[in-house]
Amino acid sequence: MAKIGLIRCEKNETRCPLTGCLNCLENGVQGFVGHDGTSLVGVFTCRCPGEGLVNMAKILKSKGADTIHFCTCTFAHREGGKWVEGEGFCDHVDDILAQVSREAQIPCVKGTAHLPEGYRPQVFK
């Protein structure tokens, strides 16, 4: 059973209640494929430019998280009714995931719900 911490972007926090992310987590689909069952440990909101994220990840870890997922809207955008890779909310999301996984010593997965076609969730370890 994977214990998941979620990190979302502040740019979407007043518009998205994470419904899709939480559904996918619960059902082990989209960005959560590959886990042998999932449970949610907690959620944090990233604030630009991302300071404090390593500490948030360490707190999630202390609460039992073994993996952190970053929301799809950080690296993809909606276009013509579909989600397309690129032009997400964060222009340095890869740097963030690399830093958090390295400094908090926890795998970070780029993606949650509505993955762009052909995209396979990238894991930073």
Q: Does 100 bind ligand SF4 (CB under 6 A)?
A: no
Distances (CA, A) of 125 to 32, 56, 101, 106: 16, 17, 5, 7
Does 95 bind ligand SF4 (CB under 6 A)? Our answer is no
* 6 makes contact with ligand SF4 (CB under 6 A): no
The reply to whether 38 sits near ligand SF4 by the rule CB under 6 A is no
User: Taking CB under 6 A as the rule, does residue 90 contact ligand SF4?
Assistant: yes
111 belongs to the binding site for ligand SF4 (CB under 6 A): no
Q: How far is CA 31 from the centre of its chain?
A: 9
Q: Which is nearer to ligand SF4, 33 or 48 (CB)?
A: 48
Burial class (CB in 10 A: 0-12, 13-18, 19+), 81: exposed
Taking CB under 6 A as the binding criterion, the range among 7-15, 33-41, 108-116, 117-125 that sits at the site for ligand SF4 is: 7-15
114 binds ligand SF4 (CB under 6 A): no
Q: Are 106 and 61 in contact (CB under 8 A)?
A: yes
Helix, strand, or coil here: 106?
Answer: coil
Applying CB under 6 A, does 48 fall inside the site for ligand SF4? Answer: yes
Write phi, then psi, for 117 (nearest 5 degrees). Answer: -60, 130
Question: Where on the chain is the footprint of ligand SF4 (CB under 6 A)?
Answer: 9-11, 46-50, 74, 89-90
